[in-house]
Amino acid sequence: MTRKQRYESIVRWFAENRPDVQSELTFDSPFQLICAVVLSAQCTDKRVNMVTPALFERFPSPQALAAASPEEVYDIIKSVSYPNSKAAHLVGMARRLVEVYGGQVPSDIDELMTLPGVGRKTANVVASIVYDKPVIAVDTHVFRVAHRLGLSDGKTPEAVERDLEAHIAEELRPVAHHWLILHGRYICTARTPRCEECALKVWCKSYKA
């Protein structure tokens, strides 16, 4: 099976069986989404969704968060991973949003990446969900699933991103990120992948019957 055939089969299965998947993070605005994605680094969406209601109630806008201290934010988010650095990033991000972008979350990926705490993965998530940019964010789940399925052998997230975007149509890329991340989260898990339950095993490069 060629890589092109593998992509066609896997994308077709997802499109037919998981057409409406979306982010599991809870948010009501671009500002809330970027905060939630920053908090989700090396942390579960479930845990993030437990702390963001209080965070957004206390700091409902970039302006409110920009006026806060990292210590105030830390008290709210201390149950997530790396709370000290994330608190500092959130405040720094909000201040740059206010000072440089008038409180608006930019749509350009390079501009997003100038915000504290925002790397390429976070920038791609925000650009894809909020602005329908034809990009695919590669986190640890997407990286793992892409390799196991044989969709990429790239050594870096950026290389995997290039492979995925080269083979997945632009209009499908915003949802393709969710296909792969949720598949990695619930089926193709890191330690004990649930291969017997996986409908993609017939095309999977790693599966051994």
Q: Mark whether 133 is an active-site residue.
A: no
Tell me the one-letter amino acid at 164: L
Q: Mark whether 121 is an active-site residue.
A: yes
Measured at the CA of 115, the angle between CA 109 and CA 120, to 5 degrees, comes to 40
Which of 4, 28, 86, 121 is flagged as catalytic?
121
Helices (H), the chain: 3-17, 30-40, 45-58, 62-66, 70-77, 83-101, 109-112, 120-131, 140-149, 157-167, 173-186
Which of 86, 133, 139, 201 is flagged as catalytic?
139
Measured at the CA of 32, the angle between CA 25 and CA 87, to 5 degrees, comes to 95
Task: Point out the residues that are catalytic.
Answer: 121, 139
